[in-house]
Amino acid sequence: MEKTLVAILLLAPLVGFLINGFRFRSKNAVLAGTIATSAVGISFVCAVTLFFKLVGLEEADRTIRVHFFDWIQVSDFTASASFVVDQISGIMILIITGVGSLIHLFSIGYMSHDERPTKYFAYLNLFLFNMLLLVLGSNLLVMFVGWEGVGLCSYLLIGFWFSDPAKAAAGMKAFITNRIGDAGFLLGIFLLFTNFGTIEFAELLAKMPAEPEMLWTGPITIACLFLFVGATGKSAQIPLYVWLPDAMAGPTPVSALIHAATMVTAGVYMIVRMSGVFVLAPNVMTVIATVGAFTALFAATIGMTQWDIKKILAYSTVSQLGYMFLAVGVGAFMPALFHLMTHAFFKALMFLGSGSVIHAMHEEQDVRKMGALKALMPITHITFVMGWWAIIGLPPFAGFFSKDEILWQTFNSHLGNAALVQGLGWNKFLWFVGLVAAGMTAFYMTRLMALTFWGKSRVPKDVHPHESPLTMTIPLMVLGVLSLVGGWVGIPHALGNLMGHIPNLMEHWIDPVVSGIKIEHASKVVEFALMGTSIGVAGICAGLAYSKYVTKGLSEEELEQEPKGFHRLVYNKYFVDEVYFGKIINPLVDVSKGLWAYIDVAVIDKVTYRLSNWMMSSSEGIGSTQNGNIQRYAMFVALGLLGILSFILY
């Protein structure tokens, strides 16, 4: 029964891809969307069934392993097409298929006027198939197949409108940036196999040493560093985050799928899945926590200056992913997965909400040309408010519970303090960075709400916004409810005890399958103080943004004025892309052109051409002997025999 459910879970989106793929020229968006949505819906039903089967098992036996066939067997290396459904992958398949099905449904209305809707839905199904491979694989090789598959699909979907050179370039940028990270991921896999002789997750964990590596040169440390490089590519962390803001070039539902339920969560999932390996490399954990914290802060500063509604949400995604890496870096694996789940709800909601706004505004994305949409788009507005409340981390919405869990566990953790920063209270500093980033999040998300839905209307006179159709608003309403109640499965201990000993269900569910790291609970006073500080900072920053953009209001001239000074630096994303092109990409291109001109053309081509010319002239000389003259053939035979006899006799 379990084997059949896993097979259907995986194959339903693949079948949907094949059906729409063979009829890709069709422009019937409703039919294509119905096929694709039904395929993902079937997978969701299977995911729910498997999840409840897990719930019904004893805690020690909550693992469903399915082996389909032996894939590769060469000498000591074996890799099987095997899949695992446990507490970690069980949550992931619910997120992928549940949120994914809502995004598919939303796409039916959003892509109804597109020229290639059937091809779009085929790509969308293929994306989910590969993501399911990634999270369900029982070994690193199956994970890597899904890892590369979502990279391919991101290229196809981000550059879906490839007739626009900028959109095609965005797809290529995502693909190439991810290939850089994937090279590191592959090296990490090779190192683990070389040192431990297996790529199976369960076998790897069983072969890990009891004591952590304290040196930077240990095999586990180096392997984890390479794996983290792969994670920075997929999950858009410094320095490989640059592809994700440009991923907005694709259709808006694609942004929701990539940023919320699928691709960008892959790096976080991989580290949580391999938590037993990463905790043995405390130096790497410090690197991960530090990169995560500064990515959260760095992206939040950029989000405060953008005007494109999707770009604001994109930098918000980079920032929220930073929180997840901060969590795994300090050993808070449960909060990382918890925030991954709640973020899937409210970020998918906000991206689809932005898609509803863009649809109503006839593809306009500049928030300076919006305003006062609250009355014209009531459902979109109400659901967007729910997502806004969740992402800025105010109770009782989902983001409050997961974000605060990350912050207080960062404050209390002994990890994230490798030898390099021991004694500096590094975890306290990282907590402070996370707190500042949370305040910035509250500011720029309130700014987004104010400029889009509140205040005075700046909508051009020839644009007439209207509420979106039901196929688009129903997913918004479902995600709005999830953004409210999704965090209630992880009530903090201090708050749970105050409310009548409500257990932290997420903690009880995840802890048995992640590393043995146990972060001690702070005293209730400290926990409530941290909670209050977080809420207070978010509330103050949201109030400041509301005052600036609604109460006082900025004139259209003030909104349009050119940024200056530090604001100009942040508005231009710190010129990181320009530095990459000027200092890395263009010099590499110039060197490559030089190598092509002076090595490939001047040496290799000339040598091969001369060799081929010599061979051709030689063959022509030898070919002259093959002229069909029997007398000449007889002479050559006689001369040959004479030569042989001479050799034998002498």
Nearest to 576 by CA among 323, 295, 320: 295
**Percent of the chain whose pLDDT exceeds 90:** 70
The percent of residues in the chain predicted with pLDDT above 70, rounded, is 96
> What integer pLDDT is reported at residue 421 of this predicted model?
56
3-state secondary structure 593-640: HHHHHHHHHHHHHHHHHHHHHHHHHHHHHHHCCCCCCHHHHHHHHHHH
**What is the predicted pLDDT for the residue at 346?**
96
- The pLDDT of 360-367, averaged and rounded, is 90
Look at residue 423 in the predicted model and tell me its pLDDT.
54
Residue 500 has pLDDT above 80, yes or no: no
Burial of 492 (0-12, 13-18, 19+ CB in 10 A): buried
The residue among 624 and 310 whose pLDDT is bigger is 310
pLDDT of residue 17: 97
Residue 264, CB half-sphere, CA atoms under 13 Å: how many? 37
Q: Mean pLDDT over all residues of the chain?
A: 91
Confidence (pLDDT) at 521: 66
**Which single residue is written with the structure tokens 């000449």?**
632
Q: Where is average pLDDT lowest: 162-171, 392-401, 521-530? A: 521-530
Which band of pLDDT confidence, cut at 50, 70 and 90, is reported for residue 65?
very high
Q: How far apart are alpha carbons 646 and 543 in whole angstroms?
A: 107
Q: Is the pLDDT of residue 419 over 60?
A: no
pLDDT of residue 221: 96
Kindly tell me if the per-residue pLDDT of 392 is higher than 90: yes
The owner of tokens 């093959």 is 626
Phi-psi region at 13: left, alpha or beta (left = phi > 0; alpha = psi -120 to 50): alpha
Report pLDDT digits (tens) over 423-455: 567 888 999 999 999 999 999 999 999 999 998
Distance CA(197)–CA(190), nearest Å, equals 10
pLDDT band at 418 (very low <50, low <70, confident <90, very high): low
| Widest Cα–Cα separation across the chain | 115
Query: Which tokens go with 384?
Result: 């967007």
The CB density around residue 584, as the number of other CB atoms within 10 Å, is 10
Beta-carbon contacts of residue 224 (< 8 Å; ≥ 6 apart): 188, 277, 278, 281, 284
H-type helices in 365-397, by residue range? 378-391
Residues 510-561 pLDDT 10s: 988 886 566 766 678 888 899 999 999 999 999 999 999 998 887 777 787 8
pLDDT, tens digit, for every residue of 231-256? 999 999 999 999 999 988 889 999 99
Per-residue pLDDT, 424: 60
Q: In this predicted structure, which of 183-192, 350-359, 473-482, 549-558 has the lowest mean pLDDT?
A: 549-558
CA atoms within 13 A on the CB side of 155: 12
Decide if pLDDT at 625 tops 80. no
